[in-house]
Structure 1
Amino acid sequence: MPLNEFDRLVYWKHFSQPYIVVLDTGTLRLSRMDLPPPLQDMGSTEFKLGLTKDGRLSLVFIDHFLASKGMLAVWFRRADGDGVEKWMLHKIFALSEFVDFSMCSQEYHDVIVHPAEVIGDFLYLSLCYDGYTRCCLSLCLETDKVNKFFDHSVHPYIMACPPSLVCNKEDLETKVT
């Protein structure tokens, strides 16, 4: 199966410069991609990159992990009116909106929001307080809809599913309800 461009490219933020270093593993060429303008002035920048369903590169950045103070910004990489590829701001969210949605108690110490991953058109977030993950959310970048996955501390473990646990059509048809 051929790899798409995103699968061939490796991205990492330059330690002291406002750009992303890009390695094309197919050609072994290095290039650079500037960060969105607001991030260029920040010394320590943490963000997540992902690819949307339609192949656009996306960048998600949280300016302050404390939910009471922070904002989450979403950019998409696309061509402007002159055909030049650049970062364009999609939307900004207050982190407190995610805390309100998740109904995480604010009587705990500060709630911290971490962007976990951008996959397809979804951003996955974890909300933590007292040092533990208390809630996992997804944000659809297309519709801005938020969904809650877990409402408690989780410890994901990924393994191959045993064939005996895989549901098949025959099992569904013979199931007694």
Structure 2
Amino acid sequence: MKSEVFSLPDAELEYFPNFVNKEKANLLFQKLVNEIRWQQQNIKLFGKEIPQPRLTAFYAEKGISYTYSGLQLNPTDFSAELWELKQKTEMLSGFSFNTCLANLYRDGSDSMGWHADDEKVLGKNPVIASISFGGIRRFQLKHKTNKDLKESIDLNHGSLLIMKGRMQHFWKHQLPKTKKEVLPRINLTFRKIN
């Protein structure tokens, strides 16, 4: 499968624009948007509780939970579709995953702010595999110390982005708001929690 490798200092980033073919991606998008039990939870930002600017759901193998931004996520068992995508991602990447955080960005006002996936439970150099379905959104990266180092990628419908190596130590990433008219987008982020 063809991939694009981004040469970034202190990071490894590989992008597969056609990880899932368009026909299957269309079917999966409809199934996931309708069958996932989406929730909008509150997060603390600058001391205030506000609704997350997206909908989420958390899937994991038995006995695993995940906390980020003060949220304790209690998992649901993997559906057949998510399990199949997890296995396909593992075969391609050579890494194993035991959780999936699903995000639904309903329109351009839904977003994810600057952050790094660097929680201790993810291990020293976590591998994050991110599958996108639906509307194309721009994914932005910036180096934590060198302000001149920036990158952005338009994430296609059916694409897979793998972040690995020391990336989470040195880079932050976000999915910013946009005033452009964009279709809803589902992002499935696979991780391994230790």
Q: Is the TM-score greater than 0.5? A: no
Structure with the greater alpha carbon radius of gyration: 1
Question: What TM-score do you get using the length of structure 1 for normalisation?
Answer: 0.29
Q: TM-score, structure 2 length as denominator?
A: 0.27
